[in-house]
Copies of this chain bind each other. A is one copy, B any other.
Amino acid sequence: MFPEFESYLRSQTTVTREELQLICSKAVERKLRRKEAILQEGEICRYKTFISSGILRTYRTREEGSEHILQFMPEDTWAVDPESYNEEVRSNYFIDALEDSKILQWAKADFVALLNNIPAFKNFSEKIISANIYLNRQRVFSSISSTAEEKYDEFIQSYPGLFARVPLHMVASYLGVTRETLSRIRHAQTKRD
């Protein structure tokens, strides 16, 4: 039914064919146009979202209007604001599409029921959450210890192929450096290579 998601889940978990069918039966497929949002600041995040194709981003704005990108979510990853989803509080974040994208969404009640009924899916979900914890700790460490050059290198290694698909100013926003600094780093590396 959802070939990208099915092959993703089969490769990552031991769910049976029947369990996979059950999981898919609760999903709603949506097509997003570039710039279309699935979460706006002030809303409650009520869905778990899987990205079948395209790229989404999680970002937040400051009072003066600047945008700060917390995360890029390309195909075969998940999008959620964990605090808003878990605690049912208004989100501080936006989630939107950077390319035309295809996503699957599960309403929270359905997703919780699936986790409770399918242990292999629950284990997998916990693995994803843990991996995000480790990643965020690494990102905090990197933010306090690395130079802008090192952050850029880490980004390229962690997300191969993403740089070509994302505008330069958004990579700069994700890294917390200015566009000028990122351009300078890119030029220096191109010269060096």
Q: Which positions in A face B, CB cutoff 8 Å?
A: 60, 62, 66, 68-70, 82-83, 86-87, 129-130, 132-134, 136-137, 139-141, 143-145, 173-176
Interface contact A130-B82, CB-CB below 8 Å? yes
Name the B residues within 8 Å of A68 (CB-CB).
Answer: 141, 144-145
Interface contact A145-B83, CB-CB below 8 Å? no
Distance A12 CA – B62 CA, assembled complex (angstroms): 33
> Which A-B residue pairs are the 9 nearest by beta carbons?
A144-B176, A143-B143, A68-B145, A136-B136, A83-B134, A68-B144, A139-B140, A82-B133, A86-B130
Contact of A144 among B87, B134, B136, B174 (CB under 8 A): B174
Q: Most chain-B Cβ atoms within 10 A of its Cβ — which of A69, A82, A137, A176?
A: A137
6 example contacts (A-B, Cβ-Cβ < 8 A) are as follows: A62-B145, A69-B144, A70-B140, A82-B137, A133-B133, A136-B137
Copy total for this chain: 2
Name the B residues within 8 Å of A130 (CB-CB).
Answer: 82-83, 86-87
